[in-house]
Structure formats: structure tokens, C-alpha cells
Structure 1
Amino acid sequence: MFSPQGPSLRELVVQALSSVERGYDLLAPKFDHTPFRTPDAILDAAAGALRPLGPFGRGLDVCCGTGAGMRILEPLCQGRITGVDFSTGMLAQARRAHPDAEWSAADVRALPFAADFDLAVSFGALGHFLPAERPRLFAGVYRALRPGGLFAFPIGAPPPIKSREYWALLGFDLAMKVRNAVWRPPFVMYYGSCPLSAVRTDLTAAGFTVTTVPLPALGRRADGSPRCRLVLARKP
């Protein structure tokens, strides 16, 4: 499915009926051949927005998966770069792709770092956390950053309610809620659970100063607003 090197429909079904950790362990060898990997266009746009704010010292990729975010951290950071994820399968793929980076197997809701990093990034991970879990995630990133450190991640604008994308994402979220109501263990992945306003509120409560910058390279909506913004959460 997706490409000759990607997972089959059966493999995706097995993954979807597993826990989040086990599902990504299973998918890891073929993950980079699916649309779930963060597209290079998003990585490049984020790097372009962060470049004028650097250079940075040490860098951290939160929920690093197979290490796509290292494409940003390597040129932006002058110190060591580290990826953290709870899927050992995904980390194994990341180590092969980026042997010079450091890797940590950990639940990012309890990050094992304290004032170690100057830049933290995350791509495509917020949907794996229920709204009630975000404060723990953001508090851990806050602890992991040095004073003045920056936490950056892209967040898309909600699609227009009349668009096919809106109804496709809504349908996916409803299907996941039904799946999690009738099947254990749960697989948390929701596209509509992290609007910018709620994310900003949670980041501010964690102690961050929050701004955003548009990513114009990713296009604009019909009203002229950007389709995607980069959230910049600064630790004072």
C-alpha cells in the first residue's frame, strides 16, 4: 500500500489494532515509505523559519520516529543532537539513518532530561496525545530546555468545513473513537485534538512565551491566511 516498499493493507490493520507503541514497532521498517512520515516540504519550511533564530547549541527531536527531524537539527545545532521516542522499532531505523546522533528510548510524557537542550522540535506527534496529556508533555519539554531555549513545531490551520479534507479528517477521528471504545489496547491518533488556541493555552500554562510565524511555502487558504504556522515556544 502507498508504494511497493510500503506496508500492505493487512499490515496496517494489524498495526491499527495494536497499541501505539507496538503499532509503530511493527510499522517501523516501512514507515518512511508511507504518507505518515513528515514530508520534506514541511521540514524545509520549518528549517527556513528557524535558521534566522540560530545557531543553536544542543538539539532534541521529541517523538523522533525514524529521525526525519534530524534533517533540521543537524545543520541548525552546533552541539549534540538527540532523538527520543518510545518505539524501539522506530529508534532502530533512526540509528541506521543517523549513526552520529544520540537516541533515547523514553515516554515523552516523562522526558528524562533537565536543562540539556537549546532547541527542541517535534513533527506530526501531537495527535498521539489526548488533551489531558499535553500539559505533561509540554512540562517535560520545558524542563529539558535551558533558559532561553526554544520549542518549535508546525501546526496546520483547520480545513474549511465545506472541504473534503475536513470531512475526511473528521471521519478518521470518529472511526478512531469508535475503535478505542470497543477495542483494547487503545491507539491514540486524532487529527482534530490539538487546535492552535488550545495548544497555545497549554504551552503558556507550562511557562513558555508563545509566538507563531507563518510558513508561506506551504501555501495559503482561500482567505489568504497561511495553511501552516510554526509555533515558537520560548523558555524565559
Structure 2
Amino acid sequence: MLGTMFAPQGPTFRELAVQALSSVERGYDLLAPKFDHTPFRTPDRVLTPVSRALHRLGPFDSGLDLCCGTGAGMDVLRQVCRERVTGVDISAGMLSVARTRERVTATAPRVEWVRADARALPFEPVFDLAVSFGAFGHFLPRERPELFAQVHAVLRPGGQFVFPIGAPARPGSAGYWTLLAFDSVMRVRNALWRPEFVMYYRTFRLAEVRAELAQAGFDVQLQALPELGSRPDGSPRCRLVVATRAW
């Protein structure tokens, strides 16, 4: 099964097990050298339509990639931001890899990498755009209001917080049972083992997220990403959440 999910350069089963029994920070430090060869990296088929949508929303002067990992989302920000892009992540290992793969050109915006907890961002309101890709499962539902308040605080008035969100798996489908099994195993692991490794796939629900963003002071709009297809009922498989700082 691992062979169908990971490239040959990816982590071994033993390495994944060690990561899973670590904290989030330590686990990603260990995984960082091979992270780009795993399915956990946001794929280009998601990044590309998000980049197109941001081009329509922009241009922007400064951008923030929240929980940037090895920098896949930073590549998107470089395309739509003119002056400055900043990647923030709690894992020093992920940031180290991101720095080594950074591409520098004469016309690129200035790039910064900052190690920090997304729940305590060390910035003034200096960003026009904040993005995040695939990181929200690392935050418990009770942590999201503070997370969204932090993003609101580092955006300029009128700044936008943008991220893709996939439609939930249809109840009874293979994807539904796979995600349910993963979350169940993770809950058992965290009940029996310390430190916790927080990663849940079924806790980031659109209706709840919209309400929490509104409470944090955002005006929230949704855009379909048609390149990622439709469900059998015609609804999009993935939407872009565009949350604009209202005050």
C-alpha cells in the first residue's frame, strides 16, 4: 500500500511510524527531507487553479503562507505578490528544506522564512494576502477561533485570507470510511500516547469555518474551482474560501 502512495524517495514505514509517535513539530522535522515525495504535499493540480484564482483577485504587495511546510504554497505567492512573501511554520526542519529549494530570480519578491506557531504570529498588520494549504487538520476545532483571529490581526484592512477546501466524502464511500478510520486511529493514539500528534481530516467543516471566520471579522465568499471537477450532484469538488478583513 505504501508503494502506491509514496515515491521511491519517500519515507519508509518505520520512518512514518516514528513520526506518528512524535509531536507535530518533531514529526515534521523528521519527515522534512522526504516530505515532497509524499502525498501530504499539496499537489500541483490544486496549487495551479488556486494560483489562477489569486491572479484574478490580485495583484497583491505582500503575502503570507501559513504553515508553509517546504514551500509549495510560497511558489504560488511568488506569482501573485510584487514585494514580499513570508512563509511561517513551526517546524525548523521544514523551513530548512524550504530554504534549500528556494528559487531566486531578479524579478522575484523578497522571500522570508519565519519559525513561529500559527496561533501566535509575530507580525504587525502588514500583509495583503494570507494563504494556507492542507494544514488545518493540525488545529483542534477549539483552536480555530484564535487561529483566525491571528490571521485577521496580521492582514491590512481589506486583506484577504484564501484557502481551498474540498467537499466532504460522500457517506458510505471508500473515501468516507478511509478518513473516518484515520481519524479514529489518531484519536486512540492521542488518548494512549504523549506527546499528541494532532492531525484530523474530518474536523474542518465548511459551515463551521465560515461562521468562525465571520466571528473573527472576515467577510466570507466562496469560489468554485472547476478545474478540480464536480460531484455527482453537480456541486464542486473543491471551493476557494476568500475571507476579506472587514475591519
Instruction: Give your verdict on TM over 0.5.
Output: yes
Q: Does 1:11 align with 2:11?
A: no
Larger CA deviation: 165-174 vs 97-106:
97-106
Please list every run of 5 or more consecutive structure 1 residues that lacks an aligned counterpart in the other structure.
none
1:25-57 CA distances to partner (integer Å, 9 max, x unpaired)?
000000000000000011011111111111101
Match for residue 37 of structure 2? 33
Pick from 45, 62, 66 the counterpart of residue 70 of structure 2. Answer: 66
Secondary structure of 1:80's match? strand
Q: Structure 1 residue 99: deviation in Å?
A: 5.7
2: CA distance, partners of 1:75 / 1:158: 29
Which of 118, 121, 139 lines up with 1:129 in the alignment? 139
- Where do 1:217-236 residues align within 5 Å? 217-236=227-246
Inter-partner Cα distance in structure 1 for 2:214 and 2:128:
18
Give the corresponding residue for 2:57. 53
Instruction: Give 4+ residue runs of structure 1 displaced > 4 Å after superposition.
Output: none
Equivalent of 1:216 in 210, 220, 226: 226
Tell me by how many angstroms 1:234 deviates: 0.2
Following the alignment from structure 2 to structure 1, what is the Cα–Cα distance between the partners of residues 49 and 206? 18
Secondary structure at the counterpart of residue 149 of structure 2? helix
So what's the TM-score if we normalise by structure 1?
Answer: 0.98
Supply the distance in 1 between the matched residues of 2:208 and 2:136 (Cα, whole angstroms): 12
d(CA) in 2 for partners of 1:120, 1:98? 19
Indicate the residue corresponding to 2:28 in structure 1: 24
- The counterpart of 2:170, out of the listed 128, 142, 160, is 160
Contact 2:30–2:93 (CA under 8 A) maintained in structure 1: yes
Letter in structure 1 aligned against 2:14: R
Distance 2:151 2:101 in 1: 24
2:118 is matched with: 108
Percent sequence identity is 64
Quote the Cα distance in structure 2 between the aligned partners of 1:104 and 1:20.
Answer: 17
Q: Which residue of 2 aligns with 1:169?
A: 179
In 1, Cα distance between equivalents of 2:208 and 2:166: 13
CA distance in 2, matches of 1:140, 1:99: 29
Q: Is structure 2 residue 48 aligned with structure 1 residue 44?
A: yes
* Count of residues in Structure 1 that have an aligned counterpart in Structure 2: 236
The alpha-carbon deviation at position 58 of structure 1 amounts to 0.3
**Cα distance between partner residues in 1 of 2:118 and 2:234:** 35
Contact 2:67 2:118 (8 Å CA) reproduced: yes
Partner of 2:107: none
Offset of residue 213 of structure 1: 0.3
The answer for the alignment partner of 1:148 in structure 2 is: 158
Note the C-alpha offset of 1:162: 2.1
> So what's the TM-score if we normalise by structure 2?
0.94
Deviation at 1:79, TM superposition (A): 1.1
Q: Distance in 2 between matches of 1:25 and 1:33?
A: 15
1:118 to 117, 124, 128: 128
Map of 2:216 onto structure 1 = 206
